[in-house]
Amino acid sequence: MAEKHSSELIGASSFYLDLRSGPQISLKEVSGLESETEVRELMQSTKDGKVIIIKSQGATPVKPGKLTIKYAAYKGDPVLDWRQLVVNGKMEEARRDIHIVIYGVDNKEIMRFTCKNSWPSKYAWSNLSAKSNEALEITVTIDHEGLEIAK
């Protein structure tokens, strides 16, 4: 008899950035959580003149990726300190494995994305407007060398 798979949906309304030092940072939005393999294509001709394309894994099993995270700005932001390591040319110190952690409604961890050798390549503040009463928002681009997913 075939095994049934779980039909329980994963809610993604409570998720955090874990830099592995200090408290987790509550995130407003995350994009770029994807795992992609480079594809190599080889075109060949058969005896009767038909062209066939053979696709296989390229030289890189997992392509490096890029995350974009958004969160509310606050004093003492550890991501800004992390970005400063890059600005100061301390790349060896800046590269680290980080996690995007999703929690369920019961506050238990339900999924974890680990981004290998990550570093913040861009740090941007939202637009400033005297007409707005919205909190300042931070958008960070994080480059990484591979994504692992744990459920």
> Residue 144, exposed/middle/buried by CB under 10 A (0-12, 13-18, 19+)?
buried
Cβ–Cβ under 8 Å, residues 2 and 69: no
Cβ–Cβ under 8 Å, residues 6 and 120: no
Domain borders along the chain are 15-150
Q: Could you give the count of Cα atoms lying within 13 Å of 121 in the half-sphere of its Cβ?
A: 10
The string of pLDDT tens digits covering residues 77-111 is: 999 999 999 999 999 999 999 999 999 888 899 99
CATH architecture, domain defined by 15-150: Roll (2.30)
The string of pLDDT tens digits covering residues 42-71 is: 888 888 888 888 888 877 777 778 999 999
